Structure 1
Amino acid sequence: MGTIKLKNIRTFSYHGCLIEEGKIGSDYVINLEVKTDFKKSCTSDDLKDTVDYVLLNKIVKEEMAIRSHLLEHVGQRITTRILDSVPEISRVLLGISKLNPPIGGDVEAVTIELKEYRSKTDSKK
């Protein structure tokens, strides 16, 4: 097994329960880690034999562009789409941080983390 990490993906998105958050937006930082098998790509040196991290970045950015009230909701969309799109991935660990959240205090960021595993029935498809 191997791990691919995309660190500090930055987006400007419009998530949040407040009406203002949907209008003015906020800065977000996303960290993504996926588990996959590197055996074939380590010997072949061919992109088709591994997980394309350009695709992972694209999925994150596209899903972050769709407004949600909750970070948990957008996070679940991202993890589900990654597992649906890339059958070679066995686990997704995702962190989404909203920078300078409007929560009435001096808080650098609020972060949610999700961990999803491919179910055994998914791997038999």
Structure 2
Amino acid sequence: MDKVFVQGMKFYGYHGAFKEENELGQRFYCDVIMEMDSETPGRSDDLDDTVNYAQVYETAKEVLEGEPVKLVETLTHRTAVLILERFELVKAVTIKVTKPDPPIPGHYDGVAVEIRRERGFEKQ
């Protein structure tokens, strides 16, 4: 399978296990890797033959700026499910959601959850 990357998407959401996170909000980053056959769009040069990256962005935005949840794992899972549901060409997807400023002590580049899901999993 070929891989298509949509990386470094930035969002502002109200997710987190602490009340302050739900009230103040914070930044979230999202990277998406879609596994698909890109031979047809590679030959045709036609957007209708592939996945529209702007629509992938809007799908991630819907989750990451949408209904507040407690866990980064939930954001990652929901994003994977929606991408597999909406983009028929995608056979598997890897999603990484990063929370760069979690409210925990220490100096680091944040916390992240990365998952990979294959077509069919979202119906289970």
TM-score for the superposition, normalised by structure 2: 0.91
| Structure 2 Cα separation of the partners of residues 57 and 99 of structure 1 | 19
Give the secondary structure class of the aligned counterpart of 1:20: helix
Aligned to 1:82: 83
C-alpha contact (below 8 Å) 1:101/1:107 kept by paired residues: no
2:96 pairs with 1:92:
no
Which position in structure 2 is the counterpart of 1:3?
A: 3
Aligned-pair RMSD on alpha carbons? 1.4
Q: Counterparts of 1:1-125 in structure 2 under 5 Å? A: 1-66=1-66, 67-119=68-120
Deviations 1:35-86 (A, max 9, x none): 1111211111111111111111110011101211111111111100110111
Q: TM-score, normalised by structure 1?
A: 0.91
Unaligned runs of 5+ in 2: none
Counting aligned pairs with the same residue, the percent is 26
Structure 1 unaligned residues grouped into runs of 5+: none
1:8 to partner: Cα distance = 0.8
Partners of 1:75 and 1:96 within 8 A in 2: yes
Q: Could you tell me how far 1:119 is from its partner in structure 2?
A: 2.7
Query: Given residue 100 of structure 2, which amino acid in structure 1 is its aligned partner?
Result: L
Amino acid at match of 1:96: V
C-alpha separation in 1, matches of 2:86 and 2:108: 35
What count of residue pairs does the alignment treat as equivalent?
A: 121
